[in-house]
A and B are shown apart, each in its own frame.
Chain A
């Protein structure tokens, strides 16, 4: 069974760069069957897809984040990471990492989520 675990700072200041890591166990992030996504959820609100990276190394991002996002992977550590530049209070949310099957398309595995608060 694939398991995902997010890690990163819980509290940040505006304008800083958010860095989160998702450690994957029980499966290889190099598997061609999967892509690996970041999804966030502000308190009391809905889910927002941030972006993903696939085994090929190809990435896709939510256009609404206006080029602030970078997702990378480290196959030697079996983990993938999110960087979000120039954070503001609007980036305060629970951040989830998820494993996504492409065919048929769905998010099969989820981390427990990590709360990131942006506050001065």
Chain B
């Protein structure tokens, strides 16, 4: 089965750029989707497909993918971006979906 690996924690200074990565074999075949989750709230989709940002998501969020690694980039991080971020992808061998372990982003 496929796994998606994320760094458990990342920090960024206010206004700076941060990249959150997601690695897994399934990413060679499928684009991931990305989710932001704040404490006590349901996840929110913030990026998906090759280059799609849902309506209402600030354009400081962007995504990219190459080989077995996908990245979510926040350009000019804001205090409100402090949250947990999860990647998700279809498993490349069977029809099920897997989430990365999540990255806790701290904005300093």
Contacts and interface: CB of A to CB of B under 8 A. Distances in A.
Interface in A24-38: 37
Nearest to B100: A46
Contact of B52 (A49, A104, A113): A104
Contact of B94 (A39, A48, A63, A106): A63
B27 to A, nearest CB: 12
Interface residues of A, number: 23
A62 B96 contact: yes
A105 B90 contact: yes
Contact of B50 (A39, A46, A96, A104): A104
A39 B43 CA distance: 11
Contacts of A46: 86, 99-102
A74 to B, nearest CB: 23
A18 to B, nearest CB: 19
Contacts of B96: 49, 51, 60-63
A48 B99 contact: yes
Listed residue (B48, B50, B89) with the most chain A CB atoms within 10 angstroms of its CB: B48
A105 B43 contact: no
Given A106-B49, A108-B45, A110-B42, A47 B99 contact: yes
Contacts of B49: 104-106
Contacts of B1: 63-64
A67 to B, nearest CB: 13
Closest 9 CB pairs of A and B: A104-B49, A106-B48, A106-B33, A110-B42, A47-B99, A49-B97, A46-B102, A60-B95, A46-B101
